[in-house]
Structure 1
Amino acid sequence: MDYIHSNPTYTVAVTAETTTHGVDFPDVNIEVKELIVSKNDTSDNGTIRAPLLSWNEAHHSMVDSMETVTISWENVNVHVKPKNRACCRGPDPNVVPKHVLRNVYGMVRPGSLVAIIGASGSGKTTLLNTLTSRVNSETLSASGDIKINGIDVGTGIRNISAYVQQDDMFISTMTVKEHLTFRAMLRMDREVNKKRRLQRVDEVIQELGLKKCENNIIGDPGRLKGISGGEMRRLSFASEVLTNPPLLFCDEPTSGLDSFMAENIVQLLKNMADKGKTVLCTIHQPSSEVFALFHDVLVMAEGRVAYMGDTDGALQFYKQTGYPCPTNYNPADFYIMTMAVIPGKEPECKQKIETICDKFEETDRCKSIKNEIKSTAENPKKTGIIYEEAFSNTSRYEAPWYQQFVAVFARSTKTVIREPMVMRVRAAQTIVLALMLSLIYLQLDLDQPGVMNVNGVLFLVLTNVTFSSVFGVLNSFPLETPIFLREYGIGLYRVDVYFMSKCLAELPSFIFIPIVFCAITYWMIGLYATFEAFLVFTAILTLVSNIAVSFGYIVSTAANSVTTALAIAPPLMIPLLMFGGFFLNSDSVPPYFIWLEYLSWFKYANELIAVNQWSNIDSIECEVNGTIPCLYRNGEAVLKYLNFEADNRWLDWGLLFAMLIVYRFIAFLILFIKARKSKN
């Protein structure tokens, strides 16, 4: 930057371009008075051109003009809610709730990278979840004063922060750039145009070192080969920093990474903090090189604060307390080991932890933190973009409904097409089963024994289409539900958008596959040979296939895993199969099970395909003096024996369409309830 000297006391205007929340803010002007410049900064022509401030000072001045975040918290307590007793009697009053966090306090200013460390069970992740308003209200109760720039924003903290969770969750068949573009389209401010969104995606890819793998699929370890673990971790950060949030939380960002990649990730966090962000992260067993990158450290033990401040001060505090860190020993390991509860020595370890925590509360450093928290609360900043976003009453979704639908539908379609086990395996399975079934029932004779064969193959075809469709979607939701719940929780898209996109993306396969199956089996088996009858037969089985998909969606959305879905689907389907009119005549259904018959699409579909096959057959071969009795002289006799009525065809069509809609609505309702519970 050039600054022209004309007077010992003068005004300088600095112009720069910056970006916040994914939006450009050009011409940020900083007015500086009484600039003092030495003679050494004079150029040959007598004009002084000198840096106004050091890089760090200039940077922080720029940051202040853009708005930053100071987060503070005090008296934070979290208890585990006791479980209810049997017979709806509520929790046992004699059970003392476990105290997970005990009067936790702290403060982090802009430009700081803070490490929250401690032994397992010390309360690190619980603190992070509490600060971000992500505590599970069903199992935990939380209280305390958590403030942004001195203001209690409540759940509004989610609007101005990003949370990189410990588990990396992505749609495995998407590429890195496609995933980031999807996030940019749905999460960036509505005012940002598409060109700027795509430009921001390229910027983030470049900044986080993802350029070489931007066109590679993300993959799924152990199932689908994709990008490396380090690249996947960086992609998690890229997903969250697209909107350039001023506040960033990270839960164990180095878990599962080698030492080099762990240092790379923490250096990335430090770079973000150096740009003015407020960054807090829990970290598990960092190396000494990684630990040295942090500006401050918060040591947790048994749900209490054992120390908070700069890393050098931590060594001095523990030394004064009587626990000096050995020479050439990793300080992070020392803090964790010192504050750990060793099995078999619980009373001594807990007493030591309480002593250290109590001594820290008596230090000037602790008193200074609490005074700063109080001072910030007494002088809150109630203006600016951050304040407006935190208390925004507008929709929690940045993108409008149609934009959400376009983005989610495009992603769902790519997933269906690229999933290696979906189209190819399902198509191959359909062709093989169709050929096998057709060869077994090849060109059936229309005689007395043939009636049983035709009825059997009709119901077998119906059963095959149903089971293949149900089992084809049992993994649709359990595999993606964790990703959906996370994306729904941060307001990427609505539940109805996701559900409709999934249904429409998978619809073509459940239309195409039944048509292929019918085209092979109908003519090879030798059913009623008219094109009109073939079209009706195909339409019935296509509708049945989609009803079965709807039923599969109910099981899929209700189950928490694919294993559970596979376990509960057959027992639910067998009763519906039994009341389909083949194994049990409709007149023989017990009255107390009549409701199951009405819920079975097998009953209505079986009646339709039987009517389609037999209603136009006027005669069936019958040997008068033969050994085989003449049971059926025409198709009408067959329908009468099965207790089917041709007049019911329109009722059957209507009920099948109603089932298609009702079953799918039930599946949507289950998914909606799950989403709402996870959000709360």
Structure 2
Amino acid sequence: MEIKRSAEELEDNHVMQISGSNGIVHNMEFMSQAYLRNQYSSEIDIHEEFVSPYPHEDAPLPIFLKFEDVEYKVRNIQASLKTMVSKVVTHTNSDPDGYKHILKGITGSTGPGEILALMGPSGSGKTTLLKIMGGRLTDNVKGKLTYNDIPYSPSVKRRIGFVTQDDVLLPQLTVEETLAFAAFLRLPSNMSKEQKYAKVEMIIKELGLERCRHTRVGGGFVKGISGGERKRTSIAYEILVDPSLLLLDEPTSGLDSTSATKLLHILQGVAKAGRTVITTIHQPSSRMFHMFDKLLLISEGHPAYYGKAREAMEYFSSLRILPEIAMNPAEFLLDLATGQVSDISLPEELLATKTTQPDSENVIVKYLQLRYKTDLEPKEKEENHRNRKAPEHLQIAIQVKKDWTLSWWDQFMIIFRRTFRERRRDYFDMLRLVQSLGVAVVLGLLWWKSKTDTEAHLRDQVGLMFYICIFWTSSSLFGAVYVFPFEKIYLVKERKADMYRLSVYYVCSTLCDMVAHVLYPTFFMIIVYFMAGFSRTVPCFVFTVLTILLIAITSQGAGEFLGASVLSIKRAGMIASLVLMMFLLTGGYYVQHIPKFMQWLKYLSFMHYGFRLLLKVQYSADQVFDCASKGGCRTLQSSSSFDTVNLNGGLEELWVLLGMAFGYRLCTYFCLRKKISICHL
């Protein structure tokens, strides 16, 4: 009665509910936990060994998930072409929508304390249904899907944990660092650092990650933890923030039977702590199969069975479909879902139909789908409509949107430290250091104590200037163009979970990468400048170094923009090569007098502006050279090397480069925002 009365009071004060203040959220959670204890007290006592790390007072908001007649389709290019041909040739409307139907009317429900297993052959639609439940697929979806009888909304988004089949974890961070940074970002701001560390420690112990806590996660070409440890780390990453609904895509793939069973024991504990757990599974062992509470068997996008996992064999026995030999229940169900009925006895009417039809497998699958429609689906729909209505206070609580747990600045400090730790091995890579310093020494030796006393010597020194521009433009451009394509999968995952603002991630990524784009060019120029015999004045040295840094930072921005615009490693490299070639040709060294109809290209080239600025800060128009010639001393401005450059013309190139550096980054941010919003995992 107290819970009901509190819910009515909250419902009357609608404005306060929508505001999402901490007091209201806490009140909602308290009522939800009371309801959870009443509903699941007996089950929690049975599984006490799994629940101990998750105190009841910190239990998540219970979510009752119901889905009815869920359909999903994707555009089929081949079907669209066939539709066009059929319209032209036969003037018919066969396959008029040009879509391939993936899910074809899925109905069911599950609640806190339960593990729902989605099982079926590869390509049956298990992962697609899981993504729809997690709100990751919304287009071309039909049917009714509710959380505590409320449709999906942004308020539900942060109550869902999603563990993908491929473990998406930053490879250079250790297990402890991965969980600690997730805790700092996602746990409430009213928790102290000590409390967040304690939560991480508790999760590490519960999931058995103590042995590998200081080991890098690894992945790809980086050696790290084992497959089972990676999967447990991925689950820890999600349950760290107490999600109400935990979705897992093939969590046991690649694991041996013992590791898979241990993992499922962990999921049982997670569920009994008050979470709703849904997982796709391909072919579990018989022991694992009986650990599921509910089972949804999908065949060719159609449901073939839905109900308690332990009652699946009884249901098919009632249809007189039985295994003739001792068989794993999961193997038996998968054989039925694919129409493979060797060593399986069938009813006489189905056998008679099977022998008269050429496609016997399809006949069996259609039969199972039909029996589901007539025997199981009506009962489940009736139960959804009558008996499984979520309490009113849970409907109210699910609509309270969680605000950002941290301010922009707090997120920035955490993401900056995490980004730097993840990339520091790249920044301070020995090969990169040897490359920069080695090239600097080689250039210094080739242009040792170069002079400007003749036209030829001046031309050589100007050529060195342009080569320095080329070297740091290409290094910075290609060093930045692959950043976002490589990190796309991590960014999509964390943005789907609303871990941080996109602006925070981008600013941290750019600033961290600037460490390398500032450090290496500075050391490079210190070596080259004095070996090559450039002007020995402090202003010339400082402005030359700053110009090279500005060229590198602008090139970094251009590389980020190109990478963000395509988010593809292969295409980003190809586009960067073409852009770099265009910038080199229009930089002002190879071709100074560009035809008028092509001159617009040089105004897009930041190398054009960078090279001109470098010449202006290094040389002055009234400086004389070639004094040993017959005509006597000449000013540098009269040299053919400066035909198109006014050495006394001011530093307007500086402002153009600054504008480009800022403009590229602004465009990059909006490209990322658009691209990431349409990416799916």
* TM-score bucket (shorter structure): 0.7 to 0.9
Aligned to 2:67: 73
Aligned to 1:193: 192
Task: Decide whether the 8 Å contact of 1:632 with 1:638 is kept in 2.
Answer: no
Fraction of identical pairs, as percent:
26
- Report 1:176-187 matches (<5 A): 176-187=175-186
Shift of 1:289: 2.5
Distance 1:427 1:346, change over 3 A: farther
SS at match of 1:507: helix
Aligned to 1:318: 316
Q: Aligned equivalents of 1:24 and 1:300: distance in 2?
A: 35
Aligned to 2:259: 261
- Report 1:581-592 matches (<5 A): 581-585=588-592, 588-592=593-597
Aligned to 1:239: 237
Task: Decide whether the 8 Å contact of 1:339 with 1:349 is kept in 2.
Answer: no
**Is the deviation greater in 397-406 or in 546-555?**
397-406
| Aligned with 1:453 (options 450, 454, 460) | 460
Distance 1:500 1:65, change over 3 A: closer
SS at match of 1:286: coil
Aligned to 1:657: 658
SS at match of 1:479: helix
| Aligned with 1:539 (options 546, 551, 556) | 546
Aligned to 1:633: 634
| Aligned with 1:569 (options 568, 572, 576) | 576
TM-score by length of 1: 0.84
| Aligned with 1:444 (options 450, 453, 461) | 450
SS at match of 1:480: helix
1:508 matched to 2:506: no
Letter matched to residue 111 of structure 2: R
Once superposed, what is the RMSD of the aligned Cα atoms?
3.3
Shift of 1:495: 1.1
Aligned to 2:111: 109
Shift of 1:616: 6.3
Distance 1:642 1:425, change over 3 A: farther
Task: Decide whether the 8 Å contact of 1:252 with 1:281 is kept in 2.
Answer: yes
Distance 1:53 1:71, change over 3 A: closer
Shift of 1:547: 0.7
Structure 1, residues 133-188: CA drift from partner, whole Å, max 9, x if none?
21162xxx101111223333445432322111111111111111111111112222
Structure 1, residues 268-322: CA drift from partner, whole Å, max 9, x if none?
1122223332211111121222223222221110111111122332112223324
Task: Decide whether the 8 Å contact of 2:621 with 2:648 is kept in 1.
Answer: no
Aligned to 2:228: 230
Which runs of no fewer than 5 residues in structure 2 stay unpaired? 1-24, 88-92, 341-356
Task: Decide whether the 8 Å contact of 1:75 with 1:143 is kept in 2.
Answer: yes
Aligned to 1:294: 292
Aligned to 2:46: 56
Aligned to 1:373: 384
SS at match of 1:647: coil
Aligned to 1:5: none
Shift of 1:73: 1.2
Q: Aligned equivalents of 2:204 and 2:102: distance in 1?
A: 39
Shift of 1:85: 7.6
| Aligned with 1:430 (options 430, 436, 460) | 436
1:495 matched to 2:494: no
Shift of 1:358: 1.5
Q: Aligned equivalents of 1:426 and 1:173: distance in 2?
A: 18
Letter matched to residue 105 of structure 1: T
Q: Aligned equivalents of 2:468 and 2:511: distance in 1?
A: 25
Letter matched to residue 71 of structure 1: L
Distance 1:168 1:356, change over 3 A: same
Distance 1:64 1:479, change over 3 A: closer
- Report 1:397-408 matches (<5 A): 397-408=404-415
Shift of 1:324: 0.9
Aligned pairs, number: 621
1:476 matched to 2:494: no
**Is the deviation greater in 603-612 or in 568-577?**
603-612
**Is the deviation greater in 274-283 or in 450-459?**
274-283
Aligned to 2:22: none
Structure 1, residues 224-281: CA drift from partner, whole Å, max 9, x if none?
1111111110011001101222321111101122222212211211222233322111
Structure 1, residues 567-623: CA drift from partner, whole Å, max 9, x if none?
2211111112111111111xx222332221111122222222222333166332354
Task: Decide whether the 8 Å contact of 1:114 with 1:297 is kept in 2.
Answer: yes
| Aligned with 2:526 (options 510, 519, 529) | 519
| Aligned with 2:608 (options 593, 603, 608) | 603
| Aligned with 1:351 (options 340, 348, 363) | 363
Which runs of no fewer than 5 residues in structure 1 stay unpaired? 1-19, 34-50
1:670 matched to 2:671: yes
Task: Decide whether the 8 Å contact of 2:59 with 2:274 is kept in 1.
Answer: no
Q: Aligned equivalents of 1:394 and 1:231: distance in 2?
A: 31
Distance 1:175 1:65, change over 3 A: closer
Distance 1:468 1:341, change over 3 A: farther
Aligned to 2:166: 167
Q: Aligned equivalents of 2:656 and 2:57: distance in 1?
A: 64
**Is the deviation greater in 507-516 or in 537-546?**
507-516
Aligned to 1:413: 420
Task: Decide whether the 8 Å contact of 1:122 with 1:303 is kept in 2.
Answer: yes
1:614 matched to 2:619: yes
Q: Aligned equivalents of 1:312 and 1:169: distance in 2?
A: 33
SS at match of 1:122: coil
Distance 1:621 1:57, change over 3 A: closer
Q: Aligned equivalents of 2:669 and 2:132: distance in 1?
A: 30
SS at match of 1:527: coil
Q: Aligned equivalents of 2:358 and 2:583: distance in 1?
A: 57
Shift of 1:55: 2.8
Task: Decide whether the 8 Å contact of 2:29 with 2:60 is kept in 1.
Answer: no
SS at match of 1:114: strand
1:382 matched to 2:387: no
1:211 matched to 2:210: yes
TM-score by length of 2: 0.84
Letter matched to residue 150 of structure 2: I
Q: Aligned equivalents of 1:336 and 1:475: distance in 2?
A: 42
Q: Aligned equivalents of 2:301 and 2:154: distance in 1?
A: 23
Greater relative contact order (Cα < 8 A, sep 6+) = 2
Task: Decide whether the 8 Å contact of 1:398 with 1:492 is kept in 2.
Answer: no
Letter matched to residue 541 of structure 1: I
1:279 matched to 2:277: yes
Q: Aligned equivalents of 1:299 and 1:562: distance in 2?
A: 38
Distance 1:155 1:497, change over 3 A: closer
Letter matched to residue 603 of structure 1: H
Aligned to 2:4: none
Distance 1:648 1:64, change over 3 A: closer
Q: Aligned equivalents of 1:635 and 1:245: distance in 2?
A: 70
Letter matched to residue 135 of structure 1: L
Shift of 1:68: 2.7
SS at match of 1:589: coil
SS at match of 1:444: coil
Shift of 1:54: 9.4
Q: Aligned equivalents of 1:197 and 1:550: distance in 2?
A: 36
Aligned to 1:309: 307
